[in-house]
Amino acid sequence: MTKYLIRRFIQLVVVAFIISVLVFLLVHLLPGDPSVTILGPNDTAQNRTILLHQLGLNKPLWNQYTIWLTAVFHGNLGQSYLNHESVTHILATGAPIDIELIVLSQIVAFAVAIPLALVTSRRPNRPLDNVASTGTFGLLAMPPFVIAPIMVAVFAVGLHWFPATGYVPFTKDPAANLHDMVLPALAITAGSIAVYYRLLRSDLISTLQEDFITMARSKGLSNRRIMLRHAFRPSTFSLLAAAGVNIGALLAGTFIVEWLFAISGLGYSLVVSVQQRDYLVVQGISLVVAIAYVFLQFVVDFLFTVVDPRVIRE
Amino acid sequence: MIGRRGTKGAKPVFEFRDIGDPTEPLLVVDDLHTSFRTGRGTVRAVDGVSLTVKAGTTLGIVGESGSGKTVLSRSIMGLLPTRDVIKSGTVHFAGHDLTALEPAQLRQVWGAELSMIFQDPMTALNPVKRIGRQITESLRLHLGMNRAEADATAVELLRSVGIPSPEDRVRWYPFQLSGGMRQRVMIAIALACAPRLVMADEPTTGLDVTVQAQILDLLGELQRERHMAVILVTHDLGVVANRADEIVVMYAGRVVERAPTHTLFANTHMPYTRALMDSIPRLSDPSGVRLQAIAGRPPDLIHPPEGCRFAPRCAYAQDKCRESDPPLRTAGSPDHLFACWFPLVHGTSTAPPAPSSGNGSSSAPPPTSAADTAIDPGAEVQSP
Amino acid sequence: MPDDRELGNTRASTQLLTDRIPGQAAVDEMVVSRQSGMLSSDDILVTKPLGALFWFAIGWLGLVVVLAVLAQVLPLPNPNFQNYSAINSPPNIHHLLGTDDLGRDLLSRLIFGARVSLIVGFASVGIGMAIGGTLGLVSGFKGGSLDSMLNAGSFVILAFPAIVAVIAIVAFWGQSLLKITIIIGVGTIPLMFRVVRASSLSFANRDFVIAARTMGAITPRILFREILPNVVPVAVTFGLITVAGVIVLEGSLAFLGLSVALPTPSWGNLIAEGTANGNLSINPYIMLWPAFSMFLLLLSINLIGDRMRLRFDIREGLL
């Protein structure tokens, strides 16, 4: 098991390294001139050259990369060209918001999807299962930019249950913070519920046809125990993989709800800095998000070893 | 007595009769029918089967794949689903009709008094649970043991089925064991609560030939020690030949011959049973002798053929066989039942000499007059 | 016929008696599938009819496609014409779906907006399928070092959060329909590669392919005759589900103003417009029509994809 995880970790480091190159190239090879961002379009060519020299942007690309990477290892991701806020500070203030959104939405998603799948998979194609399957199809067809405005219209503007915009840090006022986060979290949870439910249901249905389930029945175990202790765990492999991909997509992928609810998480900062051509911020956020994504896959790999003891052997 | 110690709420606890008398049947199956509703029509997988098993004895159920033997064993247990399955008939086990029990009551019987060994040890053990857990589960449920007692018992059970260093093995997962070892684990699970009847559904089919005999011997040994009854379901007459007390031969969902083992082998009446025997390879056969395969295929159970279901494949079939269904009857010895209009007697057919149209005309041996007198065609009819 | 596994079996009686026949195999399978006793057989036994819902989904997708294709020909007002005498009008005989806060006809904007969703959705998946699918087909069948390299490469690219890359590239490179289609299309290449490769690989080791190989069939012939027909259902089903994903992605970009430049309508930017400036309470129709159309379109595509998946018996986890 340790051997397996070490191997995965080495892979992680290699992939992280390649990703740092990709992020660097992504920002540096794209058309657009940072001097235009900083000095505006009407400055002289001489001033531009001086600025590029100051920023080190006239050096060869590989040299710029090593300088950047060295700085990254020292925790220095540079600063915004526009307001000179340090990128690490932007990350430090933004990341907790994304993490909170993701954690809340995923808790809701699992809390809905898992019990629902456990109940409906026992009797597929019965009314309850049909309702749940159709319902989750509906959720799958409601991306955040469709569902969030509707939720705002109904629950914030219409019923005044929740605020339409705003964010209070959790450390300041936990109750107000959670109150603010309900709508954004629910808006992104819809798709997760649908994906998790459908995968778990179909895997449970095939697990329930396995011999070892009949075997468990022949031991006289209750249906409840069979579902929870025998069928559930071997049915979670696809769910786990899907959760890894899905949560990965939500890292900075929460920008729609952040945008709509005016919450300045990483996704929001990313979109704003992209629109303003704020290169170093884009670079810093992309790098951190990408590394987090890869690390998440590592965590998923680790969880596979917990869920399925056979993985270690391979 | 069975029942869950420490059960929450009012679970029905009911008593099973202690059957002290070994001649009294432990299991009585009467006219059991099981059909599946499918898209193509109703499949009559088990079609009127009756049998009995005495305490501590072994019954062999033999038939080709698709003869309904697996469905029969599941039907006796009551393990089949209720939806799209039509069942009738009764299964009396130690005085209770299992077909009339509530699911919660059945669960008190399963694993405790009546347990099952599955065909494929590769798929019948939960791949993500330690084998120890898979054993202690029933111990804790049915016998109300605490964790420590159950763990200790699991180690003893593994030792009794011949697994080396069981103290370590309880923590292993099924994938870490060989097929034979897994089948031993499965036997340990089935025997954990000392059931009175074990259904073994092709328990050795998935194993190497050398391991097969070991597993069957182990099962026989444990059976004698614990005075259990065993139903051994197999496609291989050779497997049950020297292990079963009585043998039931099934064909197309029905019992076609049923007799104590020695009687069956000494005087096979049903041509199908004969054909099964002929397909067992014998060491005494000179090399180069071809095994006799049974020509044709088992019949469609949605639209079974008219008359005797084996007639289309039978070398001795007559017109009568294709027209009317032979009832299960006796001749001579009262415990030897068979369903055949023209039974074999000591290897020769009692069919009339005139060769029938179609198959069998050349291969059917001529009947002997001795056979005609040995079998009384008007013998007592056992079941309709 | 006994298969080769049984032929190698020394247990003659087993060999003779387990000789399977097709009809019998079906019954055996059914029995096995029912063994759990906790299941109904509907999934397994009878091919489910496609159902009214499926035809409704086909109908809606067809309607959207036809309207989008014929948008220029249909008697619709210019989607960008601002009629200041009819601002925020509710649905009426002149404007069947009403007008927005600038007096533009909502039906016309909806239909022209559909073009963006459909073109980006289908064309980019087409690009991904053409390149990624072809690579995956050959790579999975051939194996070897090229396969390992491509596989590792696709893994690394997929380890990169797509949405970040797409946002960044779109913002810096440009927001034309063509560029967005290409960017997203290139982004789907590794996805298509992985799915088609996995499928191709699984068929490359099936008995019928090995049989074809031993009989001396040449590689291109095996690839096109044996593998391709089996891979296509998986690829098409997965492709269709990806189309839905791409439409969502384009909608998200458009919602942020990062898809096709305004005033060209797309469903995403129509929803954004309907959400901005208090439009939601003044004139909910602006947001409602595109949101509802998007919902139905995604529902239809997912439904068709799911029915295809069931028909071709593809496991849900694979996709």
For residue C162, the chain A residues in CB contact (below 8 A) are: 249
pLDDT band at A313 (very low <50, low <70, confident <90, very high): low
Are C34 and B36 inside 8 Å of each other by CB?
Answer: yes
d(CA A148, CA A155): 10
Question: What pLDDT sits at residue B3?
Answer: 40
Q: Maximum CA pair distance of chain B? A: 73
Question: What pLDDT sits at residue A83?
Answer: 79
Question: What pLDDT sits at residue C8?
Answer: 30
Are C161 and A217 inside 8 Å of each other by CB?
Answer: no
Say what percent of chain A tops pLDDT 70: 90
Domain with CATH 3.40.50.300 in chain B: 25-235
Shortest distance, CA B65 to any CA of chain C (angstroms): 6
Helices (H), C256-284: 267-275, 279-282
Q: How far is CA A264 from CA A94, A184, A267, in A?
A: 6, 12, 8
d(CA A251, CA A295): 12
Are A209 and C35 inside 8 Å of each other by CB?
Answer: yes
For residue B172, the chain A residues in CB contact (below 8 A) are: none
d(CA C264, CA C248): 18
Shortest distance, CA C212 to any CA of chain A (angstroms): 31
CATH assignment, B25-235: 3.40.50.300
For residue B138, the chain A residues in CB contact (below 8 A) are: 219-221
Are A30 and C302 inside 8 Å of each other by CB?
Answer: no
| Residue A293, in any domain of the structure | no
Residue of C nearest to B65 (CA): C18
CA end-to-end span of chain B, whole Å?
37
Q: Closest to C28 (Cβ–Cβ): which among B65, B236, B238?
A: B65
A285 CB within 8 Å of a chain C CB: yes
Average pLDDT over residues A231-251: 86
Shortest distance, CA C182 to any CA of chain A (angstroms): 15
| Residue A179, in any domain of the structure | yes
A210 CB within 8 Å of a chain B CB: yes
Residues paired with residue B44 on neighbouring β-strands, in sequence order: B35
Return phi, psi of residue B45, to 5°: -75, -40
Residue of B108, B115, B128, B134 to mutate when probing chain A, most A C-beta within 10 A? B128
Are B116 and A309 inside 8 Å of each other by CB?
Answer: no
Q: Write down the mean pLDDT value for chain B.
A: 80
CB of B275 within 8 A of CB of B64? no
pLDDT in tens, chain C (319 residues): 333 333 233 222 222 222 222 333 333 333 333 333 333 333 333 445 567 788 888 888 889 888 888 877 777 777 777 766 767 677 777 767 777 777 677 788 888 888 888 998 999 999 999 998 888 888 887 777 888 888 888 877 777 767 777 877 877 777 788 888 888 888 888 888 888 888 887 777 777 777 777 776 667 777 777 778 878 888 888 888 888 888 888 888 888 877 777 777 888 888 888 777 667 677 777 788 888 888 999 888 888 888 887 777 666 554 4
Residue of C17, C28, C32 to mutate when probing chain B, most B C-beta within 10 A? C17
Q: Closest to B111 (Cβ–Cβ): which among A210, A219, A229?
A: A219
Question: What pLDDT sits at residue C35?
Answer: 34
| Residue A304, in any domain of the structure | no
The complex's ipTM works out to 0.79
Are C13 and B43 inside 8 Å of each other by CB?
Answer: no
**For chain C, what is the total number of helices (H) and then of strands (E)?**
16, 0
CB of C168 within 8 A of CB of A282? yes
Q: Number of B to C CB contacts under 8 A, please give it.
A: 77
More confident residue, A314 or B137: B137
Q: Closest to A248 (Cβ–Cβ): which among C35, C161, C281?
A: C161
Of B189-193, B201-205, C6-10, C127-131, the range with the lowest mean pLDDT is: C6-10
Choose the most confident range, by mean pLDDT, from A13-17, A80-84, B20-24.
A13-17
Q: Closest to B38 (Cβ–Cβ): which among C10, C17, C30?
A: C30
d(CA C139, CA C155): 14
Task: Convert the pLDDT of each residue in B339-376 to its tens digit.
Answer: 888 888 876 777 766 544 444 444 444 444 444 334 44
Instruction: Give the strand order in the sheet containing B333-338.
Output: B114-117, B197-201, B229-234, B58-62, B246-251, B254-260, B333-338, B328-331, B381-383
Question: What pLDDT sits at residue C66?
Answer: 87
Return phi, psi of residue A217, to 5°: -60, -40
State the CATH number of the domain containing residue A175: 1.10.3720.10
| Residue A42, in any domain of the structure | no
Angle among Cα B56, B62, B66 to the nearest 5 degrees reads 135
Residue of A213, A219, A222 to mutate when probing chain B, most B C-beta within 10 A? A219
Overall domain count for chain A: 1
Residue of B nearest to C27 (CA): B66
For residue A145, the chain C residues in CB contact (below 8 A) are: 251-252, 255, 268, 271-272
Average pLDDT over residues B196-218: 85
d(CA C155, CA C194): 9
Question: What pLDDT sits at residue B106?
Answer: 87
Say what percent of chain A tops pLDDT 90: 13
For residue B71, the chain C residues in CB contact (below 8 A) are: 31
Residue of A nearest to B198 (CA): A218
CB of B299 within 8 A of CB of B45? no
Residue of C nearest to A214 (CA): C36
More confident residue, B301 or A116: A116
Average pLDDT over residues B140-145: 89
Shortest distance, CA B143 to any CA of chain A (angstroms): 12
Shortest distance, CA A178 to any CA of chain C (angstroms): 24
Average pLDDT over residues B221-243: 88
More confident residue, A240 or A312: A240
Task: Convert the pLDDT of each residue in C246-287 to its tens digit.
Answer: 888 888 888 887 777 777 788 888 888 877 766 767 777 778
pTM over 0.90: no
Q: Closest to B236 (Cβ–Cβ): which among C14, C34, C46?
A: C14
For residue A122, the chain C residues in CB contact (below 8 A) are: 38-39
pLDDT band at A36 (very low <50, low <70, confident <90, very high): low
Residue of B nearest to A122 (CA): B81
Residue of C nearest to A226 (CA): C38
d(CA C263, CA C175): 12
Average pLDDT over residues B134-139: 92
Q: Closest to C24 (Cβ–Cβ): which among B39, B66, B74?
A: B66
pLDDT at A67 over 80: yes
> What percent helix, strand, coil does chain B show, rounded to 5?
30, 25, 45
CB of B113 within 8 A of CB of B196? yes
d(CA B365, CA C196): 61
Return phi, psi of residue A311, to 5°: -55, -40
Domain range for A148 is 87-275
